[in-house]
Amino acid sequence: MSSPVVLELDQVSVHFGGIKAVQSLSLQLHEGEILALIGPNGAGKTTAFNVITGVYQPTAGEVRGFGQSLRGLQPHQVTNRGFARTFQNIRLFKDLSVRENILIALDRTTRNTTLQSLLRSPSFFRDEDSKREKVEELLNIFSLHVSEESSARNLPYGVQRRLEIARAIATGAKVLLLDEPAAGMNGQETASLMETIRFIRDRFALSIFLIEHDMRLVMGISDRVAVLEYGKKIAEGNPKDVQADKNVIRAYLGTE
């Protein structure tokens, strides 16, 4: 029996005037799965992510999260449904510290009312203790303790990437969308990232949908891979089969 579907794109198209960025794309992400979306530059990968997260609305088709439509929702509403993403161009609060970046994301999970916070009720202190524990856990997992008081803008690029993923997890999401998480990383950092992605999938019971150009990472951690070319899906399956698919070879190398 297959795992439940946590994210579904059903015949999704996105047009910008006469430009068909995504064309009739259907995909399913299952609970606990790591699914990679690959393709040449301009294939429509980030556009697909933007549709899922409410940045764009589909021209046609349906996007569902946990069986419910995400169409028409704003990005913060999609986050409230259990989805969080990172970006190809890192979007941290650059003037805040590592710890503060994570704490801001954790504020989404607070259950206290404004009155409880003002009165410093027992539930307020329990919530604050829980946040501190979560911050410590994420700092440890992503090896960020040494930089926890540093401003995000002063961090090396690879560390900023790790912080962005940690912040996404801190929102309490069950589905993580990673847009080129290995961008700007060297080989050693990429290998470490692969292990981290596997670990956080298991530790936090996450389903992970990622866009990536680093084929070593894609083929090393993905359960399934889907390939876009000019907005159309040309292949989907396990990494080994996709890597050998003639349409994928043609799309990347321009030859049969």
The pLDDT confidence band at residue 192, using thresholds 50, 70 and 90, is confident
Residues 226-248: what's their mean pLDDT? Answer: 93
pLDDT of residue 79: 92
* CATH number reported for the structural domain that contains residue 152 in this entry: 3.40.50.300
- How long, in residues, is the chain? 256
Report the alpha-carbon distance of residue 129 to residue 214 in Å, rounded.
Answer: 39
Report the alpha-carbon distance of residue 144 to residue 149 in Å, rounded.
Answer: 10
Q: Largest Cα–Cα distance in the chain?
A: 69
Mean pLDDT of the chain: 88
Report the alpha-carbon distance of residue 67 to residue 53 in Å, rounded.
Answer: 15
Per residue in 77-130, pLDDT (tens digit) is 999 999 999 987 788 888 999 999 998 888 765 665 555 555 566 665 566 667
Structural domain containing residue 112: 5-253
pLDDT of residue 231: 94
Domain total for the chain?
1
Tell me the residue type at 243.
Answer: Q
Would you call 123 helix, strand, or coil by DSSP? helix
Report the alpha-carbon distance of residue 100 to residue 210 in Å, rounded.
Answer: 26
Q: 99 with 149: CB under 8 angstroms?
A: yes
Structure letter (DSSP) for residue 107: G
**CA 85 vs CA 12, 111, 177, 206, 211: distances in Å:** 19, 23, 4, 12, 11
